């Protein structure tokens, strides 16, 4: 029974003590009494070596007792130097949230338990959610802080290579292959390479761009990040406290260059990954890399990590009659600057973030712009509405907030985002009413779950308003529906009402193909079929084939926002290290 006067830290530790005893004895009855009937357990590698979410106390207990004998979890203790146990509201529920540490047979971990009084059982505190997440492998800890390497100043060879000589040799790969090849040098590639570096796993990043950061630098002129700086740090190196709230693309691109240098990451620019084949007998890939000078290099890494984003292949839909257009036709990924189009006429097809931003950039440069909507789109003001999802990051430490983010089971995260979406709709009512009045088709995500789950399920379909929606409502940027276009003609688009939208430029802001399309291109049908869908949830609670072993040994995927990559690169790196050390088998067992 909950003692209202008892310190909640004592209550939380008492729950952990009882949980540890029951788990050690595989006492299913006691374990079941410790969870709400509709409780959740999310395990991130610690006991199961999977990223998995289990719902319902009966199934939670069944899975806990299945994994506990081998994992041998112990020493569950409220974590010192972390946020102390406290009452918080998560997904509309008032709960005690306690961060704890623990050990297993092979590692150390962190977790969060959320306790609520069970009114049907005398207000006894029971777990609503439980997270167990692996932090490190025993014997393979990161060399950070007091464990940092001593370097050459401690024991120098005055006739041997200095630090720069060693860095150049490491980067050149003249006489060796990396253990891990990372394809893509954006935030995903940098995050996983930095994590692997700290685990002493030899890793090479390859990127087809000529300069580190070009994947941001070469995007359209006005681009800035749409979420705030405190959410977006890369691992180990937070942004300076003087940085602006919303980071400009070129500033971020330059930081990527500095990050690679400071973190001593091996990075080959101007290098195209042409594909590879896996040898089950040797556990190695044979991959081909084409350098900017036309030369080719064959390598044999154990692992290939695809870090090309949610997808790296532009989606250029087959639009009947579009080939009649004789002006300039671009996909949004190739659009750079509106000043080229001053005094010209432009059609932008697609109403996600890129479509709106490009339309606004063209308008600001003096172009006459028509935005064409193909399907309903979620619109929310960038402040405060779009930032509501990141409220926890406005206080506390980054480490705590990342753990909180990792701890929320998908069903509860969806419930939270339904509430945030309703709050956003109220805050943005004037704007949304204006858009509806002029014929803009709005939606608010599947079952009202908002922009975050649009991103997690399909990678887009929303716009964070930084002014373009206001220009549309005011008629300064024209709006037409794609369904009202009869055909494209040499000078633009002919509408079903007989009018013509004249254009010198058409921009296809039509998104990107699913990542499995790129896998099929690079690795062939057999690998693509074996791996299956990438990103989105399917029928489960976890993103498909993301940050975890796939059914293709040695092939891994990482993508998402800077925050997603920072959080999940840790867990991906631990799995790769465990495979390298023989702790974990190379591929996922077939279902």
Looking only at the bridges linking them, the beta strands covering 296-299 and 284-291 are antiparallel
What is the DSSP secondary structure assignment for residue 230, as one 8-state letter? G
Same domain as 460, residue 339: yes
Domain count, the chain: 3
What is the reported pLDDT for 587? 73
Same domain as 483, residue 533: no
Dmax (CA) for the chain in angstroms is 82
Contact 36, 57 (CB under 8 A): yes
* 84 found inside a domain: yes
The DSSP code sequence of 258-318 is HHHHHTT-EEESSEEEEEEEEETTTTEEEEEEEETTS-EEEE--SEEEE-S-S--SB----
What is the reported pLDDT for 6? 60
Number of neighbours of residue 183 by Cβ within 10 angstroms: 25
* 542 found inside a domain: yes
What is the DSSP secondary structure assignment for residue 584, as one 8-state letter? S
Same domain as 552, residue 568: yes
**Which domain, by its residues, includes 372?**
322-508
Q: What is the CATH number of the domain that holds 31?
A: 3.10.450.50
What is the reported pLDDT for 151? 65
Looking only at the bridges linking them, the beta strands covering 485-489 and 378-381 are unpaired
Same domain as 328, residue 466: yes
> Which residues make Cβ contacts (< 8 Å) with residue 299, sequence separation at least 6?
173, 177, 178, 181, 204, 285, 286, 287, 289
Contact 571, 45 (CB under 8 A): yes
Token pair, residue 247, equals 């980071």
Same domain as 291, residue 351: no
Residue closest to 513 by CA, chosen among 317, 274, 371: 317
* 151 found inside a domain: no
What is the reported pLDDT for 23? 97
Phi, psi dihedrals of residue 179, rounded to the nearest 5°: -70, -35
- Predicted TM-score of the model (pTM): 0.94
The span from the CA of 135 to the CA of 37, in Å, is 29
The span from the CA of 178 to the CA of 167, in Å, is 14
The span from the CA of 556 to the CA of 553, in Å, is 8
Radius of gyration of the chain from Cα atoms?
26
Same domain as 296, residue 402: no
* 290 found inside a domain: yes
Same domain as 524, residue 504: no
* 155 found inside a domain: no
What is the reported pLDDT for 191? 98
What is the reported pLDDT for 591? 34
Same domain as 128, residue 75: yes
The span from the CA of 247 to the CA of 227, in Å, is 9
The span from the CA of 180 to the CA of 182, in Å, is 6
Same domain as 191, residue 90: no
What is the reported pLDDT for 311? 60
What is the reported pLDDT for 153? 54
> Which residues make Cβ contacts (< 8 Å) with residue 565, sequence separation at least 6?
187, 188, 191, 192, 234, 558, 559
User: pLDDT truncated to tens, each residue of the chain (591 aa)?
Assistant: 444 446 899 999 999 999 999 999 999 999 999 999 999 999 999 999 999 999 999 999 999 999 999 999 999 999 999 999 999 999 999 999 999 999 999 999 999 999 999 999 999 999 999 999 999 999 999 988 767 776 655 566 677 888 899 999 999 999 999 999 999 999 999 999 999 999 999 999 999 999 999 999 988 888 889 899 999 999 999 999 999 999 999 999 999 999 999 999 999 999 999 999 999 999 999 999 999 999 999 999 999 999 998 666 889 999 999 999 999 999 998 898 889 999 999 999 999 999 999 999 999 999 999 999 999 999 999 999 999 999 999 999 999 999 999 999 999 999 999 999 999 999 999 999 999 999 999 999 999 999 999 999 988 899 999 999 999 999 999 999 999 999 999 999 999 999 999 999 999 999 988 899 999 999 999 999 999 999 999 889 999 999 999 999 999 999 999 999 999 999 999 999 999 999 998 876 533
* 152 found inside a domain: no
Q: What is the CATH number of the domain that holds 276?
A: 3.50.50.60
CA dist 579 → 177, 235, 552, 574 (Å)? 17, 22, 14, 9
Same domain as 542, residue 500: no
What is the reported pLDDT for 419? 97
What is the reported pLDDT for 210? 96
Half-sphere exposure of 66 (CA within 13 A, CB side): 9
Element holding 206 (H helix, E strand): strand 203-206
Q: Give the residue from 508, 535, 562 where a domain finishes.
A: 508
Same domain as 198, residue 307: yes
* 154 found inside a domain: no
What is the reported pLDDT for 221? 82
Same domain as 292, residue 218: yes
Q: Give the residue from 479, 508, 537 where a domain finishes.
A: 508
Number of neighbours of residue 158 by Cβ within 10 angstroms: 5
Q: Give the residue from 120, 137, 154 where a domain finishes.
A: 137
* 462 found inside a domain: yes
The span from the CA of 246 to the CA of 264, in Å, is 27
The span from the CA of 376 to the CA of 442, in Å, is 5
């Amino acid at each position: 029974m909950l003692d209202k006067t008892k310190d909640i830290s004592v209550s939380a530790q008492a729950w952990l003590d009882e949980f540890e005893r029951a788990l050690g004895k595989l006492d299913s009855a006691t374990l079941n009494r410790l969870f709400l009937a509709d409780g959740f357990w999310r395990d991130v590698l610690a006991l199961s070596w999977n990223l998995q979410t289990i719902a319902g106390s009966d199934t939670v207990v069944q899975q806990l007792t299945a994994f506990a004998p081998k994992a041998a979890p112990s020493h569950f203790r409220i974590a010192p130097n972390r946020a102390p146990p406290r009452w918080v509201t998560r997904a509309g529920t008032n709960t005690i949230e306690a961060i704890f540490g623990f050990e297993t047979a092979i590692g150390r971990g962190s977790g969060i338990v959320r306790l609520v009084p069970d009114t049907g059982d005398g207000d006894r505190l029971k777990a609503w959610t439980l997270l167990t997440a692996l932090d490190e492998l025993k014997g393979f800890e990161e060399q950070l802080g007091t464990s940092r390497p001593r370097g050459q100043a401690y024991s120098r060879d005055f006739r041997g290579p200095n630090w720069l000589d060693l860095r150049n040799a490491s980067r050149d790969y003249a006489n060796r292959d990396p253990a891990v090849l990372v394809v893509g040098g954006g935030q995903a590639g940098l995050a996983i390479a930095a994590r692997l570096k700290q685990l002493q796993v030899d890793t090479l990043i390859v990127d087809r761009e000529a300069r580190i950061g070009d994947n941001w630098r070469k995007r359209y002129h006005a681009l800035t990040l749409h979420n705030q700086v405190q959410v977006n740090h890369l691992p180990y190196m937070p942004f300076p406290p003087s940085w602006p709230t919303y980071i400009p693309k070129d500033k971020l691109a330059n930081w990527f260059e500095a990050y690679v240098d400071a973190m001593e990451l091996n990075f080959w620019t101007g290098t195209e990954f042409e594909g590879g084949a896996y040898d089950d007998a040797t556990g190695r890939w044979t991959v081909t890399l084409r350098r900017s000078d036309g030369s080719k290099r064959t390598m044999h890494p154990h692992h290939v990590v695809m870090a090309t984003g949610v997808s790296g292949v532009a989606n250029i839909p087959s639009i009947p009659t579009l080939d009649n257009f004789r002006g300039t036709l671009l996909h949004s990924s190739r659009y750079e600057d509106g000043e080229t189009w001053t005094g010209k006429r432009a059609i932008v097809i697609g109403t996600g973030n890129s479509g709106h931003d490009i339309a606004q950039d063209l308008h600001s440069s003096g172009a006459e712009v028509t935005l064409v909507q193909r399907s309903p789109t979620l619109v929310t003001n960038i402040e405060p509405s779009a930032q509501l999802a990141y409220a926890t990051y406005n206080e506390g430490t980054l480490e705590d907030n990342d753990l909180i983010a990792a701890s929320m089971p998908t069903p509860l995260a969806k419930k939270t985002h339904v509430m945030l979406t309703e709050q956003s709709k109220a805050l943005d009512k004037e704007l949304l009413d204006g858009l509806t009045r002029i014929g803009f088709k709005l939606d608010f995500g599947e079952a009202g779950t908002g922009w975050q789950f649009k991103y997690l399920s399909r990678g887009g379909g929303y716009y964070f308003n930084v002014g373009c929606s206001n220009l549309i409502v005011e008629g300064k940027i024209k709006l037409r529906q794609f369904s009202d276009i009869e055909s494209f003609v040499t000078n633009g688009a002919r509408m079903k009402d007989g009018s013509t939208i004249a254009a010198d430029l058409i921009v296809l802001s039509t998104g990107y193909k699913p990542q499995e399309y790129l896998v099929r291109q690079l690795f062939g049908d057999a690998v693509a079929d074996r791996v299956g869908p990438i990103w989105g949830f399917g029928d489960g609670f976890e993103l498909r084939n993301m940050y975890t072993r796939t059914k293709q040994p040695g092939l891994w995927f990482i993508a998402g926002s800077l925050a997603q990559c920072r959080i999940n690169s840790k867990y991906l790196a631990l799995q790769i290290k465990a495979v390298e050390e023989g702790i974990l088998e190379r591929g996922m067992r077939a279902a």
